[in-house]
Amino acid sequence: MSGKESSREVVVRQTQQKITQEVCAIFRGIVRESVEQRKTCSLALAGGTTPRKLYQALARGCAVDDTPWSDVEVFFGDERDVPQDHVESNYGMVQRTLLDHLPIQPARVHPMPADADDLDAAAAGYEQRIREVVEAGKDGIPRFDLILLGMGAEGYTASIFPFTDAAAEEQKLVMACFVPVLGRKRMTFAFPLINAARHIILLVTGSDKAGAVARILGDDQEARKSLPAARIAPTDGRLIIALDYPAARAAGLKPDGGSQ
Ligand code: 6PG
């Protein structure tokens, strides 16, 4: 027995607001549990519109909740090739919508240097920073307490796009890559780092994502093969796939439990 236990659960709520509220509670619970057990919580956050709504909800609640935010270390699962103050920066968006509202020391926030001249060297430097801050598991890979991911309609996650070097990478933990469909470079966590996490939340909402959701949850291995989000599979952790009904409908899933 490897002593490893992995689980996957799919949570569906009627609306984006309701699944965002549900994920807020799960997110806060993971931070609290991590700090109680290990005196810290290492987070890797995502960009995009869906994660943004979660950050806004977390920020709204932080004044009244007892989440130990001051013990959190914040990293970024991917970043665009723009300066931190650029409107497209994931760091900038997370800083404005969440971090500016939380009691987190700036030294515990680690922006991803995706606008560096030498992106490969910058990716290696970011990986080294992660190794300095995030404790490794038995396999020597840093084990984040929580990685939050979104998903594009084409099934990409973080900045791992279909048929790119990042989708095929099985050794590197952080990598720079050119994304042909965007015509731009990105920096991103690779699957070995993502799948080493204790908790992964994949938050997907909206009917435009329904096709990709049906494929990643379906049994058609061929259909799954080209979708990076189908490769999220924690080696010794918990995967929570959080969906609103419009995103879940094509997969034949209905809103479950909780406050509908
Ligand atoms: C990014 C994100 C990306 C995002 C998904 C979902 O840099 O854009 O990290 O992976 O999470 O594309 O984005 P939306 O919620 O905006 O569809």
Q: What integer pLDDT is reported at residue 260 of this predicted model? A: 42
Give the model confidence (pLDDT) of 119-173 as tens digits.
Answer: 999 999 999 999 999 999 999 999 999 999 999 999 999 999 999 999 999 999 9
Residue nearest to atom 13 of ligand 1 (CA): 48
Contacts of 209 (CB under 8 A, 6+ apart): 151, 152, 153, 247
Strand order in the sheet with 78-80: 78-80, 184-189, 174-179
3-state secondary structure of 152: coil
Q: Is 244 in the pocket of ligand 1 (CB under 6 A)?
A: no
Best residue among 115, 148, 159 to mutate for probing ligand 1's pocket (most ligand atoms within 8 Å of CB) is 159
Name the DSSP class of 233. -
Query: 44 and 77 in contact (C-beta within 8 Å)?
Result: yes
pTM for the predicted model, two decimal places: 0.96
Q: Tell which residue, 231, 113, 76, has the closest CA to residue 168.
A: 231
Residue nearest to atom 10 of ligand 1 (CA): 158
- pLDDT at 1 exceeding the cut of 80: no
Name the DSSP class of 241. E
Q: Mean pLDDT score of the chain, rounded to an integer?
A: 95
Q: Is 246 in the pocket of ligand 1 (CB under 6 A)?
A: no
3-state secondary structure of 65: coil
Phi-psi region of 86 (alpha: psi -120 to 50; beta: other; left: phi over 0): beta
Q: For ligand 1, what atom is nearest to the CA of residue 159?
A: 10
The pair of structure tokens assigned to 6 is 């992995």
Amino acid found at 216: I
- pLDDT at 114 exceeding the cut of 90: yes
Give the model confidence (pLDDT) of 186-236 as tens digits.
Answer: 999 999 999 999 999 999 999 999 999 999 999 988 888 899 999 999 999
Q: Tell which residue, 219, 94, 91, 223, has the closest CA to residue 155.
A: 223
Give the H or E element holding residue 97: helix 90-97
Q: What integer pLDDT is reported at residue 259 of this predicted model? A: 45
d(CA 85, CA 89): 7
Residues 10-22 have a mean pLDDT of 98
Q: What integer pLDDT is reported at residue 130 of this predicted model? A: 98
Q: What integer pLDDT is reported at residue 73 of this predicted model? A: 98
- pLDDT at 27 exceeding the cut of 50: yes
Q: For ligand 1, what atom is nearest to the CA of residue 209?
A: 17
